[in-house]
């Protein structure tokens, strides 16, 4: 049997504070009906004052480690996929390492926006298959609420905060990650972006006044590209592994828009009971959405040994990615 990486523990954590669609009606020109019809979102979680991305990472990681039956001191590598880390430097993964007491682990952040968790999964998978590391913690975490213009109804209704984590190790059985597939189209970078805060537009009074530190999104254009791209991505991933859509036990998509999710499921002739959907509760938590949904699926006992599980995501960059797992 070939050496593969395998997820042996999952965990997630959501902030306590809830913002319902009715709350947003008081902030911007919108309605519960408008938001629900176009996105499928009913509410989202947001951090309170004093909470940061690393705090969410820490709680999700503790739960994943507990599920894996592993101590933090046993970890060899920590990867945090995020576009909303605690600060530009150091990496949020280093802050998480300290919080966990994982003294023997390397740590770094990875940013592929909403596709970040699958990008991180691919990195962890290759490290494990190559024999560099054997016990890896991967976290997808976002505090999107700190980068939202709460007067912009095109973005503030979409995003939420949260974290999800998985622990991976090597296996020589039939189960594990079968393949990962990473893609990007940088010419469409401005479809979803935060222009301010980096080297191109460093923080100044001018950039703050112009709102360059908020998430900007060209929603209609992004939607069209996402639907077309994700359908092809999922089909290509299945073909690469000689697996038919009917052999999928579960599709765990990025939780961005219910219309995108249902369109992908329809293309696969996959009934919605085989699709993980929780965006009505949490909104778009970017890189955290897939590991949060995966943790819920696992804890609800919806996966069985040797089930074929598809993960797929689309996000800023533009980036898109998939992973096929035999559970």
Q: Are both 188 and 313 inside the same structural domain?
A: yes
Establish whether 201 is a catalytic residue: no
Residue that terminates a domain, selected from 173, 193, 215: 173
Q: Model-level pTM?
A: 0.95
Q: Are both 10 and 156 inside the same structural domain?
A: yes
Q: Are both 125 and 187 inside the same structural domain?
A: no
**148 backbone dihedrals φ, ψ, rounded to 5°:** -110, 140
Stretch (H or E) spanning 195: none
Establish whether 21 is a catalytic residue: no
Q: Are both 98 and 143 inside the same structural domain?
A: yes
Per-residue pLDDT at 223: 85
Per-residue pLDDT at 53: 98
Q: Are both 92 and 158 inside the same structural domain?
A: yes
Residue where the block lists tokens 């990875």 = 110
Say how many C-beta atoms besides its own lie within 10 A of residue 272's C-beta.
12
Catalytic hit among 21, 111, 257, 284: 284
CATH assignment at residue 272 = 3.40.47.10
Catalytic hit among 21, 57, 111, 114: 114
Establish whether 308 is a catalytic residue: no
Of 121, 206, 207, 204, give the one whose Cα is nearest residue 168. 121
Q: Are both 162 and 66 inside the same structural domain?
A: yes
Residues in the chain: 327
Q: Are both 213 and 164 inside the same structural domain?
A: no
Q: Are both 10 and 145 inside the same structural domain?
A: yes
Q: Are both 79 and 134 inside the same structural domain?
A: yes
Q: Are both 167 and 187 inside the same structural domain?
A: no
Instruction: Kindly state the tokens that stand for 95.
Output: 């802050």
Q: Are both 76 and 145 inside the same structural domain?
A: yes
Q: How many structural domains comprise the chain?
A: 2
Q: Are both 145 and 184 inside the same structural domain?
A: no
Residue that terminates a domain, selected from 141, 173, 205: 173
Contact 80, 182 (CB under 8 A): no
Catalytic hit among 144, 254, 257, 308: 254
Non-local (6+) Cβ contacts of 230 within 8 A are: 253, 260, 264, 312, 314, 320
Per-residue pLDDT at 219: 82
The beta-carbon contacts of 185-190 under 8 Å, at least 24 apart in sequence, are 185/317, 185/318, 186/317, 186/318, 188/221, 188/225, 188/317, 188/318, 189/316, 189/317, 189/318, 190/216, 190/218
Residue 270 to residue 263: CA distance in whole angstroms:
10
Domain of 138 in residue numbering reads as: 4-173
pLDDT tens for the chain, 327 residues long, are 778 999 999 999 999 999 999 999 999 989 999 999 989 999 999 999 999 999 999 999 999 999 999 999 999 999 999 999 999 999 999 999 999 999 999 999 999 999 999 999 999 999 999 999 999 999 999 999 999 999 998 999 999 999 999 999 999 888 999 999 999 999 999 999 999 999 999 999 999 999 999 999 998 898 888 888 988 899 999 999 999 999 999 999 999 999 999 988 988 889 999 999 999 999 999 999 999 999 999 999 999 999 999 999 999 999 999 999 999
Residue that terminates a domain, selected from 113, 143, 173: 173
């Amino acid at each position: 049997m070939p050496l593969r990486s395998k997820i042996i523990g999952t965990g997630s954590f959501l902030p306590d504070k809830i913002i319902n669609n009715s709350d947003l009606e008081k902030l911007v020109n919108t309605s519960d009906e408008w938001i629900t019809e176009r996105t499928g979102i009913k509410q989202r979680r947001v951090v309170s004052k004093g909470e940061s991305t690393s705090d969410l990472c820490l709680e999700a990681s503790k739960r994943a480690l507990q599920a894996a039956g592993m101590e933090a001191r046993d970890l060899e590598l920590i990867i945090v996929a995020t576009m909303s880390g605690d600060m530009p430097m150091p990496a949020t993964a280093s802050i998480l390492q300290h919080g966990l007491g994982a003294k023997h682990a390397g740590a770094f952040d990875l940013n592929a926006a909403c596709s970040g968790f699958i990008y991180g999964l691919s990195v962890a998978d290759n490290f494990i298959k190559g024999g560099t590391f054997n016990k890896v913690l991967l976290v997808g975490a976002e505090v999107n609420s700190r980068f939202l213009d709460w007067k912009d109804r095109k973005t503030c209704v979409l995003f939420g905060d949260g974290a999800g984590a998985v622990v991976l190790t090597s296996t020589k059985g039939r189960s594990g990650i079968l393949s990962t597939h990473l893609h990007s189209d940088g010419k469409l970078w401005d479809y979803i972006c935060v222009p301010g805060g980096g080297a191109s537009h460093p923080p100044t009074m001018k950039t703050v006044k112009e709102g360059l530190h908020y998430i900007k999104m060209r929603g209609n254009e992004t939607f069209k590209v996402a639907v077309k791209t994700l359908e092809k991505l999922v089909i290509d991933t299945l073909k690469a592994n000689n697996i038919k859509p009917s052999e999928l036990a579960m599709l765990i998509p990025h939780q961005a828009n219910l219309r995108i999710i249902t369109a992908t499921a329809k293309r696969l002739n996959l009934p919605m009971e085989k699709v993980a959907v929780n965006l009505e509760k949490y909104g778009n938590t970017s890189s955290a959405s897939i590991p949060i949904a995966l943790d819920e699926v696992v804890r609800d006992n919806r996966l069985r040994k040797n089930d074929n599980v598809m993960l797929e995501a689309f996000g800023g960059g533009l980036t898109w990615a998939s992973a096929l797992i035999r559970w």
